[in-house]
């Protein structure tokens, strides 16, 4: 059992995302601890990429800010190492494949293990293409977290069977970003996933309010929130500490009520 399972130990989980290096690496480090203080159970750190094709405009802008601030993968590994000295919270990267590929799969997953990163989410690496990375990830005990989409249908069986860490259930079609309503039949998706996998499942994409978080955690084991957090950081820049902690606490409370 990987450390990621710990995130789901205390009831329903709240998973928070922020883009690494937005507005700066120092602030990202402080903000991670604010999110932990607010009650986050797992933190996703986005590795900024020049062309984030699965992201909506909010996270696209965060990627640009982080890259302009000089954020790189080696610097984010150093950040994880610093956070790890003070906290055992499960940490994962959300990264597009190319930065990992350029770094080298073997070296990348060795580094993940040595700094204490528990898993990676790679939105442009579907099940069929995971083999080339998975051999190195498994060797180092790092989870590659698989995504399940509303269009996955029967693919859910194959994906869930090979998945590690947790199942990332994409709530609706489209890119990341807060949505007014989520209409997917998530209960059926979850039922199918659970029939083939013991892993916890968390729902992400489009969740921005406590009501949505409560509803999503109601059908799954947790809720993932990215764009709403990144937007707070965009609004408050270097002084997002307080609003961030308050927002995470509110969302965590909603998730627990579900």
Partner 1 sequence: MSNGRYGPFGGQYIPETLMQEIHALEDAYARYSDDTDFNAELETLLREYAGRPSLLYFAEKMTAVLGGARVYLKREDLNHTGSHKINNVLGQALLAKRMGKTRLIAETGAGQHGVATATAAALLGLECEIFMGREDTERQALNVYRMELLGAKVNPVDSGTKTLKDAVNETMREWVARTHDTHYLLGSVMGPHPFPRIVRDFQAVISREARAQVLQAEGKLPVAVMACVGGGSNAMGMFHHFVPDAGVRLIGCEAAGLGVDTHQNAATIANGSLGVFHGMKSYFCQDEQGQIAPVYSISAGLDYPGIGPEHAWLHDSGRAEYVPVTDEEAVAAFEFLARTEGIICAIESAHAVAHAQKIVPQLPENESVILCLSGRGDKDVAAIARSRGVQVHE
- Binding site residues, partner 1, CB under 8 A: 49-51, 53-54, 56-57, 60, 67, 72-73, 97-103, 123-129, 131, 146-153, 155, 159, 170, 173-175
41 neighbors 32 (Cβ within 8 angstroms):
no
Least separation in angstroms between residue 7's CB and partner 1 is: 21
In the complex with partner 1, the residue whose CB is nearer, 33 or 101, is 101
Least separation in angstroms between residue 141's CB and partner 1 is: 24
Classify residue 40 by its DSSP letter.
-
Each as own residue / partner, the long-range contacts of residues 230-237 (CB below 8 Å, 24 or more positions apart, any chain) are 230/17, 230/18, 230/19, 230/22, 230/58, 230/59, 230/62, 231/58, 231/178, 233/18, 233/19, 233/22, 233/23, 233/27, 233/31, 233/62, 234/22, 234/58, 234/61, 234/62, 234/65, 237/23
Least separation in angstroms between residue 138's CB and partner 1 is: 18
In the complex with partner 1, the residue whose CB is nearer, 34 or 143, is 143
In the complex with partner 1, the residue whose CB is nearer, 131 or 180, is 131
Q: Rg of the Cα trace of the chain? A: 17
Classify residue 225 by its DSSP letter.
E
Please choose, from the candidates 176, 179, 198, 180, the residue with its C-alpha nearest in 3D space to the C-alpha of residue 94: 176
Question: What angle do helix axes 25-38 and 227-236 make, rounded to 10 degrees?
Answer: 120
In the complex with partner 1, the residue whose CB is nearer, 128 or 198, is 128
Least separation in angstroms between residue 21's CB and partner 1 is: 12
In the complex with partner 1, the residue whose CB is nearer, 93 or 247, is 93
- 238 three-class SS: helix
In the complex with partner 1, the residue whose CB is nearer, 4 or 125, is 125
139 neighbors 132 (Cβ within 8 angstroms):
no
Least separation in angstroms between residue 69's CB and partner 1 is: 13
Least separation in angstroms between residue 31's CB and partner 1 is: 22
Rounded Cα–Cα distance for residues 44 and 28 (Å)? 11
Least separation in angstroms between residue 153's CB and partner 1 is: 6
In the complex with partner 1, the residue whose CB is nearer, 53 or 191, is 53
Please choose, from the candidates 5, 51, 3, 7, the residue with its C-alpha nearest in 3D space to the C-alpha of residue 224: 7
């Amino acid at each position: 059992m990987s450390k990621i399972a710990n995130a789901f130990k205390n009831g329903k989980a709240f998973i928070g995302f922020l883009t690494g290096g937005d507005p700066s690496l120092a602030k990202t480090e402080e903000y991670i601890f604010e999110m932990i203080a607010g009650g986050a159970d797992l933190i996703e750190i986005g590795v900024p990429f020049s062309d984030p094709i699965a992201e909506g405009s909010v996270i696209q802008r965060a990627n640009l800010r982080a890259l302009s601030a000089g954020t790189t993968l080696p610097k984010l590994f150093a950040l994880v190492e610093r956070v790890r000295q003070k906290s055992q919270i499960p940490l994962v990267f959300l990264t597009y494949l190319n930065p990992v590929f350029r770094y080298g799969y073997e070296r990348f997953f060795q580094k993940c293990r040595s700094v204490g990163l528990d898993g990676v989410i790679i939105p442009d690496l579907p099940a069929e293409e995971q083999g080339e990375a998975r051999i190195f990830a498994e060797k180092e005990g790092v989870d590659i977290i698989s995504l399940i989409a509303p269009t996955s249908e029967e693919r859910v069986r194959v994906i869930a069977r090979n998945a590690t860490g947790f199942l990332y259930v994409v709530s609706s079609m489209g890119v990341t970003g807060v949505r007014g309503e989520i209409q997917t039949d998530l209960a059926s998706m979850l039922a199918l996933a659970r029939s083939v996998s013991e892993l916890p499942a968390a729902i992400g994409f489009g969740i921005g309010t406590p009501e949505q978080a409560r509803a999503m955690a109601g059908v799954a084991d947790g809720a993932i929130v990215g764009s709403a957090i990144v937007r707070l950081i965009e609004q408050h820049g270097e002084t997002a500490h307080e609003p961030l902690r308050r927002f995470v606490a509110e969302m965590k409370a909603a998730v627990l009520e579900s």
